[in-house]
Structure 1
Amino acid sequence: MNNDPRSHGLWERTAPPAPDTPALRGDATADVAVVGAGYTGLSAALHLAKGGAQVTVLEGEAVGFGGSGRNVGLVNAGLWVKPDLVPAALGPERGERLLTLLGAAPRLVFDLVAEHGIACEAEGAGTLHCAVGPKGLSDLEDRARQWQARGAPVRLVDAAEAASLTGTPAYAGALLDARAGTIQPLAYARGLARAALAAGAAIHAGSPVLGVAEDGPRWRLATPGGTLTADWVVVATNAYTRAPWPEIRAEIAHLPYFNIATAPLGDNLRGTILPGRQGAWDTKSVLTSFRLDQAGRLVIGSVGALRGSGGPVHRAWARRTLRALFPQAGDVPFEAEWYGQIGMTADALPRFHRLARNVVGFSGYNGRGIAPGTAFGRVLADLVAGRVAEADLPLPVTAPAPIGFRMVRELAYEVGAQAVHLAQARVRGRAAS
């Protein structure tokens, strides 16, 4: 997008074409204005339109331009934080409500894919959270116990089974989550947009919201080409928030994350690397993720930005990591690379905000955008339509609060990831000498 091959990489090359979403021209009205055409906004628009509401989506760039079109494509259940910490932070009622919602969120994604015939390489084979050493295994033992106490279909596998499932002996075990899976993330976003359009929603890309003002009992949203007047506004911009809600951007720190894809592997290699088609990531702080796409490309990712000095550092890391994990793949060529930004909150929990009268939104997905974004979009649709009350939501209403030392955190994330990947290069270099 925007003639930048590092913005969406493989996903833009292999996704079905985007639907026609012309920029807003002139003055329009709707019951609900949705700002942002990512998973949350598109899910909200789809569910609102299916319920009979007149809904219009305004997107500053293109459908799936933000994190929805750049991520790894892991459709995960739950949050990054361990399950028991959620009710401890939010209270027992809301905490368990949030865990129930997000535990079932992958099922919502796969059901929408099936219902609307979305061509997005959906694989419901589960995910593997892979343990690096005894510390990583202990962490996964806790996670397994906490999810199993809630009846979730997760199980801890030992090192031998982890090697069989991943294709590498590098891990001390793994947590297999049968609720989860993988998709082609940009294709899913474009498919949600098509489904929303078919349900009667309007979507206008290339229409950034420049300002919002009260117009009697309604809201008037100004774009470069026109205005939209609506009773409700759903703000669904998360890490890619711009004006006129700078307070959302101020409460999240950007964590850069990149992915690099190989050329398609041969049939013999596909049988040895993730043969069950699960997506995987490990327990390191600067983690490694890996998965296969439908054509057999191996996609490997980690924290970092492919810009400036980060480009060569992270490419070299990806090559070394592939050799270490999957030596059977040899020096398979890289075919695509891309990166984006994850919106991190101070406590790694998402937020629900009432930004003004009839102006609501979720933000702060902390690297879990696909399933939570889809589920939160449906929740917002239910709230706006009056099917649920704020008291029934999985998160309390909070005011946006700036994250401390945001710019320092963002610099530390980007520079720190480079330092970690360079340090790993030195360690492996000494081990090889």
Structure 2
Amino acid sequence: MAAPHATPCAPLSTAGTTPASHGLWAASAPPAPPAGPLTADLGGAQAVDVVIIGGGYTGCSAALHLAEAGARVALLEARALGHGGAGRNVGLVNAGLWVMPEVLPQVLGPVHGPRLLQLLGDGPRTVFELIARHGIACEAVHRGTLHCAVGASGLAELHQRARQWQALGAPVTVLDAARTAERTGTAAYTGSLLDLRAGTVQPLAYVRGLAAAAQRAGAQVYVGSRAVRAEATGTPQQPGWCLHTDTGGRVQARWVLVATDAYTGEHGLWPALQTEQVSLPYFNLATEPLTPRQAAGLLPGGEGAWDTRQVLTSFRMDSAGRLVFGSVGALQGSGRAVHTAWARRAMARLFPQLRGVALQHAWHGTIGMTHDAIPRLHTLAPQVLAVAGYNGRGISPGTVMGRALARHILGLDAPDALPLPFSTPEPERWRTLRTAGYEAGAQAQHLVDARW
């Protein structure tokens, strides 16, 4: 079993979300539920059953489902709720993964492959049910998503994906170019895949709502509290853990769930979770609220959309009528000017009525990519679980994986009933070079793209 990294770490800033890190989502989300740092000793009679590290979708979903079942839960977030990918993404609640459905049984085998497919296929429904049940105000729109085809090869890819999902009974349909133009507002695409299982949310508002629901169920939520040291306690027959935070707090628990994914940090606890993934930068820009003329015909059905390019484009509307437009890249250094200039050109090419429209918000974050685009489930030490590698599909998979791990910890599901097999973290080869290559490639693509 891997031992935790125990080097003391300097406290992180507890500042919340910022315009540069979370953009529109920080400006438009309801306030986060009240929470402060852990400065007390949660031991003895105050000890908990489970301590969760990470306040994103997985951590907050697990906290909610554990607390609802009567477990004593403490959640530790190093910065603010949704600080990582949960508060920065596009807000597409998609079913499945980037890989084709038939790939999962081939890679994971005849048991875990179909099981994970079913879990992730039903994932959006779980998200929207939780939103309804807990009254989460997060601009939820459950009207599907559009995966838009670029050229003949893109359309062939969508037909293949549709056949595989339809064989599993999924409500997906390939639309031709004309119907795609009606639904998107642009004639740039040769077709699209409409997935009625999916939808959109305000991602930061959703994760804050999950955390608030977990608190109401009895979970203790602490922010600005980075776990810096883990001590094994108990016996081999009854293991336990004592986690120390950079705020002077301490919590004793029977179980630890590590839910930090791409924001684990190479100098934090169990850094192998970071080194097994390649970091993919992704940015979003949001326009000012569009006028009726500008918005006419643009995604009239309320779907979110993205295309089949390798350096993809994503776009969706928010509840105030802003267009959220994104792609691969980081809005820092030379990338800020390159990616922003590309976005202006690309928006005008797709939607000529938006030429010259003002951009009100800009932000970016990191996606953790595994080499096969499939998540990982680990036992890092006795009764220390971790899941990582959502590959840009965090909202639905994070929610349902949090629930699945909660059921396992509660003893409701045996290890062999989990949706993923346990594996050992393995460092990704050439990780640093590949991470730099994503940004360099995106900048090169965006320097020349949409100039005609």
Determine what percentage of the aligned residue pairs are the same residue.
58
| Matched ranges for 1:199-238 at <5 A | 199-216=217-234, 217-224=239-246, 225-238=248-261
Aligned to 1:170, the other structure's residue is in SS state coil
| Selected match of 1:335 from 349, 356, 360 | 360
Tell me whether 1:123 sits opposite 2:141 in the alignment: yes
Tell me whether 1:22 sits opposite 2:47 in the alignment: no
Tell me whether 1:352 sits opposite 2:377 in the alignment: yes
Counterparts of 2:93 and 2:59, CA distance in 1: 17
| Selected match of 1:47 from 29, 45, 65 | 65
1:287-325 Cα shifts (integer Å, max 9, x gaps): 000000000000000000000000000000110001000
Tell me whether 1:173 sits opposite 2:191 in the alignment: yes
Partner of 2:56: 38
**TM-score of the aligned structures, taking structure 1 as reference length:** 0.97
Check whether the contact 2:317–2:324 (CA below 8 A) recurs between aligned residues. yes
1:260-308 Cα shifts (integer Å, max 9, x gaps): 0000111233331000010000000000000000000000000000000
The alignment's C-alpha RMSD in Å is: 0.9
Counterparts of 2:351 and 2:110, CA distance in 1: 43
Query: How far apart are residue 414 of structure 1 and its match?
Result: 0.9
* Code of the aligned partner of 1:150: L
Tell me whether 1:417 sits opposite 2:417 in the alignment: no
1:164-215 Cα shifts (integer Å, max 9, x gaps): 0000000000000000000000000100010000000000000000011112
Aligned to 2:399, the other structure's residue is in SS state helix
Query: How far apart are residue 2 of structure 1 and its match?
Result: 4.8
Counterparts of 1:59 and 1:228, CA distance in 2: 13
Check whether the contact 1:211–1:244 (CA below 8 A) recurs between aligned residues. yes
| Matched ranges for 1:148-187 at <5 A | 148-187=166-205
Aligned to 1:82, the other structure's residue is in SS state coil
Counterparts of 2:18 and 2:296, CA distance in 1: 34
Identify the range of structure 1 (49-58 vs 266-275) with the bigger mean alpha-carbon deviation. 266-275
* Code of the aligned partner of 2:263: Y
Tell me whether 1:8 sits opposite 2:22 in the alignment: yes
Partner of 2:415: 390
Partner of 2:83: 65
* Code of the aligned partner of 1:30: V
Tell me whether 1:195 sits opposite 2:213 in the alignment: yes
Counterparts of 2:193 and 2:352, CA distance in 1: 23
Counterparts of 2:194 and 2:295, CA distance in 1: 20
Check whether the contact 1:361–1:380 (CA below 8 A) recurs between aligned residues. no
Partner of 1:372: 397
Counterparts of 2:133 and 2:302, CA distance in 1: 22
* Code of the aligned partner of 1:223: T
Structure 2, unmatched stretches of 5+, are 1-14
**TM-score of the aligned structures, taking structure 2 as reference length:** 0.93
1:72-112 Cα shifts (integer Å, max 9, x gaps): 00000000000011101111221010000000000000000
1:30-58 Cα shifts (integer Å, max 9, x gaps): 10000000000000000000000000000
Once superposed, which parts of structure 1, at least 4 consecutive aligned residues long, lie more than 6 Å away?
none
Structure 1, unmatched stretches of 5+, are none
1:326-374 Cα shifts (integer Å, max 9, x gaps): 0022311000000000000011100000111000021000000000000
Counterparts of 1:311 and 1:205, CA distance in 2: 30
Aligned to 1:339, the other structure's residue is in SS state strand
Tell me whether 1:271 sits opposite 2:265 in the alignment: no
Aligned to 2:449, the other structure's residue is in SS state helix
Check whether the contact 1:58–1:203 (CA below 8 A) recurs between aligned residues. yes
| 1:154–1:5 CA distance, 2 compared to 1 (3 A) | same
Identify the range of structure 1 (1-10 vs 93-102) with the bigger mean alpha-carbon deviation. 1-10
| Selected match of 1:239 from 241, 262, 265 | 262
Counterparts of 1:184 and 1:270, CA distance in 2: 19
Identify the range of structure 1 (1-10 vs 340-349) with the bigger mean alpha-carbon deviation. 1-10
Tell me whether 1:314 sits opposite 2:314 in the alignment: no
* Code of the aligned partner of 1:220: C
Aligned to 1:91, the other structure's residue is in SS state helix
Query: How far apart are residue 148 of structure 1 and its match?
Result: 0.2
Q: Tell me the matched-pair count.
A: 427
